């Protein structure tokens, strides 16, 4: 990969035949490096609002019956499509308890740590790309909130016992547990469709793989969403349908970011001074 000047990427040009505008830097001040403290404020404010909306009522106030009926609808669809493999995958994984312990820790930590790390890395090394993918992440998360509110789903680990799923976070204790009454009342555990774990993991891969220089780093970034998909299934936190919903949420986020970029670029072009126009007398 050819080197680029700090804060700019080789492909991020504008003009005919160039990549989509949502991948290119905006004109004027937008093309400069973003201010870290302002970006931090954006991220904190957005996450506080996201958490407040997501957990507005908490699991204790969400209709368990409705969440169970929605889960049955998901299971029925997967059975008709012959892709209801979550139970078999977990049963196989339960033979390897250390792997379950690792999966529990991965589920509770990588979701935030890796995503924040990717944002920081993009901010430091590819500011224009950071702006695009930060907006994409925010739009993806906003779309997911709509799904949580309109389609609460009982995750496999909370299904009645006759479904055969095991709540690995409850049976194999780690620092992450949803058993306490406080967690039940604060956290909305029915916010499963779409899977933000998978959507964010896929976001990390798409944002980083094209600009990572080392082959091993690109391989790790590309494998991250696959590992995340396996983890959320074997820990019985999500259905395959939730993963598909995560893909849809990310696609909507990419579209939203592209639209924002188009509007911003158009606004900047309209307000840029045109060389040779000022001071000329029309004929």
Q: How confident is the model at residue 185 (pLDDT cuts 50, 70, 90)?
A: very low
Burial string for 100-130 (b: 16+ CB within 10 Å, else e) reads beebbebbbebbeebbeebbebbbebbbbbb
**What mean pLDDT is predicted for residues 134-159?**
92
Q: Using one digit for the tens of pLDDT, what is the confidence trace for 247-263?
A: 999 999 999 988 987 88
The answer for residues whose C-beta is within 8 angstroms of residue 262's C-beta and 6 or more apart is: 21, 22
pLDDT band at 17 (very low <50, low <70, confident <90, very high): very low
d(CA 274, CA 283): 18
Q: Which of 42, 75, 38, 250 is nearest to 153 (CA)?
A: 75
Domain borders along the chain are 60-269
Confidence at 189, pLDDT banded by 50, 70, 90? confident
Determine the pLDDT at residue 224. 98
CA distance 66 to 72: 10
SS3 track for 120-186: HHHHHHCHHHHHHHHHHHHHHHHHHHHHHHHCCCCCHHHCCHHHCCCCHHHHCCCCCCCCCHHHHHH
Q: Are 34 and 123 in contact (CB under 8 A)?
A: yes
Mean residue pLDDT of the chain comes to 80
pLDDT of 136 higher than 80: yes
**Alpha-carbon distance 255 to 237, whole Å?**
27
Place of tokens 């055969």: 164
How many C-alpha atoms does 100 have within 13 Å on its Cβ side?
21
Share of the chain above pLDDT 90, in %: 54
In whole angstroms, give the CA distance from residue 79 to residue 240: 11
Q: What's the pTM value of the predicted model, to 2 decimals? A: 0.77
């Amino acid at each position: 990969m050819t080197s680029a000047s700090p804060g700019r990427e080789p492909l991020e040009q504008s003009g005919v035949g160039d990549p989509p505008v949502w991948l290119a830097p905006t004109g004027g001040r937008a093309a400069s490096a973003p201010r870290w403290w302002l970006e931090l404020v954006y991220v904190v404010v957005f996450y506080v609002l996201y958490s407040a909306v997501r957990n507005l009522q908490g699991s204790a106030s969400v209709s368990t019956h409705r969440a169970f009926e929605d889960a049955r609808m998901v299971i029925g669809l997967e059975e008709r499509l012959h892709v209801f493999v979550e139970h078999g995958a977990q049963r196989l994984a339960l033979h390897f308890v250390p792997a379950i312990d690792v999966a529990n820790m991965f589920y509770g930590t990588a979701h935030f740590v890796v995503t924040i790390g990717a944002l920081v890395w993009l901010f430091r090394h590819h500011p224009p790309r950071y702006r695009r993918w930060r907006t994409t992440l925010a739009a993806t998360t906003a779309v997911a909130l709509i799904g949580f509110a309109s389609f609460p789903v009982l995750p496999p680990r909370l299904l009645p016992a006759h479904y055969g799923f095991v709540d690995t976070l409850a049976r194999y204790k780690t620092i992450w547990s949803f058993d306490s009454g406080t967690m039940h009342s604060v956290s909305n555990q029915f916010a499963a469709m779409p899977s933000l774990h998978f959507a964010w993991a896929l976001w990390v891969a798409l944002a980083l793989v094209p600009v990572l220089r080392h082959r091993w780093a690109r391989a790790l970034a590309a494998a991250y969403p696959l590992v995340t998909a396996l983890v959320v299934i074997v820990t019985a936190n999500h259905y395959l349908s939730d993963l598909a919903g995560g893909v849809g949420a990310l696609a909507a986020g990419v579209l939203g970011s592209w639209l924002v970029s188009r509007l911003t670029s158009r606004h900047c072009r309209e307000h840029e001074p045109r060389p040779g126009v000022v001071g000329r007398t029309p004929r």
